[in-house]
Chain A
Amino acid sequence: MTNERYLVVSYFAAAGAGILLALLTALFLSSPLTRALQQVARPLASVFRRFLPSWLILAVLLGFLSVTYYDCSHGTYQKIVADRHHLVQKNFEQGSAMTEYLAVGLSAYGLVLGLSLLGGLRAAPPDRQPPDSAP
């Protein structure tokens, strides 16, 4: 396989693998997310369920697109294509950036989900009380 062909194939394969990883992560979390959102109002719960795959895909794409092939010693397309090791290294960097952004996205989603659970509690009927008033 020529370097140019490798560049095209690996670039789109990395993007596809990242999106697949995001979708698998969303699938892995979908059933516990549904259980977690049982006590949240239905419209908000629906938004959160639909929000998770989109959010994770956007995070992965952001990580993928944050890697550039240009650097000090590879200023032109010809120089980039001529260096196979540089192409492979950039593929690994794309994978690293995608996993990092996915982890950040999951952390942020967990934080927002906690706040939504609090909102669901406040909207719920008063069958709960703070521990200070407990006997």
Chain B
Amino acid sequence: MSIEATVFLVGLAMAFAIALVLFVLVYPPLRRMFALNSTLQSARSFYARTFFLIMLLAAWTPLLEQGVPTTPATEQKPQAQAEPAPAASEPQPEAVPAAAEPTPPAETDEAFMTAVWHVAGGLKSVCLSVSIFLAVYVVVLTVLYATLGRIRDASGA
């Protein structure tokens, strides 16, 4: 699997983990709120599943918009082509033995850090998106509680 696909999948997995953690944190008080009366009790499962789906979709939206990262080698190709060729009168550097070239570790580090920055940039957008949808869902729950939460079952009164 290419590093671009790996980075993309890691981002999706981290976004899924964020949605799951939020769901685990919010579900216990949500369950207590929905235990206030039988009408809310019957709707608890629907709102819990909806909450998880909304958080998951909100977390995946910015990552999908960001797309798959481009490789550093692809981005550097135009720069390499733009470099002027050495003049014929200049002395040509002697060929360096292949064993002394330190390029492979440096390229690996660069690719790794580029991937980490790509995931970090995506997670920033994930946090923003999840915050907005969390606020929207809190408004929905507030409306639900304001309309239905004050009513108690006759048997539970």
Residues of A within 8 A of B (CB): 25, 28-29, 31-33, 35-36, 38-39, 85, 88-89, 92-93, 95-97, 99-100, 102-103, 106-107, 109-111, 113-115, 117-118, 120-121, 127-131, 134-135
Is B150 in contact with chain A by the CB < 8 A criterion?
yes
Given contacts A25-B53, A92-B65, contact A35 B151 (CB under 8 A): no
Contact A130 B150 (CB under 8 A): yes
Q: A107-B140, A121-B148, A134-B152 given as contacts; is B57 within 8 A of A100 (CB)?
A: yes
In the complex the two chains form, is A128's CB within 8 Å of B64's CB? Answer: no
Q: Mark B45-79, 1 if CB is under 8 A from A, else 0.
A: 11111100110011011111111101000000000
Q: Which 5 pairs across A and B sit closest by C-beta, in order of nearness?
A: A32-B45, A96-B65, A36-B43, A96-B64, A32-B46
Taking a contact as CB atoms under 8 Å apart, the answer to whether B50 and A117 are in contact is no
Give min CB distance, B135 to chain A, whole Å.
Answer: 10
Contact B61 A118 (CB under 8 A): no
Q: Which of A103, A115, A128, A130 has the most CB of B within 10 A?
A: A103
One digit per residue, 1 when the CB lies within 8 angstroms of any chain A CB and 0 when it does not, for chain B 117-157 equals 00000000000010001001100100110011011111001
Complex contact B43–A35 (CB within 8 A): yes
For B60, give the chain A residue with the smallest CB separation: A99
Q: Do the beta carbons of B64 and A39 come within 8 Å of each other?
A: no
B47 CB, nearest partner CB in chain A, Å: 6
Binds A, one of B34-42, B80-88, B104-112: B34-42
- Find out whether the CB atom of B43 lies under 8 angstroms from the CB atom of A113: yes
Given contacts A130-B152, A131-B157, 15 further A-B contacts (CB under 8 A): A31-B45, A36-B46, A39-B42, A85-B70, A92-B65, A92-B66, A96-B62, A96-B65, A103-B53, A107-B136, A110-B47, A113-B46, A114-B147, A121-B148, A130-B151
Q: Could you list 10 A-B pairs, sorted by A, with CB under 8 Å? A: A29-B50, A39-B38, A96-B60, A100-B57, A100-B58, A106-B50, A115-B147, A117-B148, A121-B39, A129-B152
Task: List residues of chain B with CB within 8 A of the CB of A110.
Answer: 46-47, 50, 137, 140, 144
Which residues of B sit under 8 angstroms from A130, Cβ to Cβ?
Answer: 150-152
Choose from A103, A118, A127 the contact partner of B57 (Cβ within 8 Å).
A103
Asked if B151 and A121 make an inter-chain contact with CB atoms under 8 angstroms apart, the answer reads: yes
- Most chain A beta carbons < 10 A, residue from B140, B147, B148, B154: B140
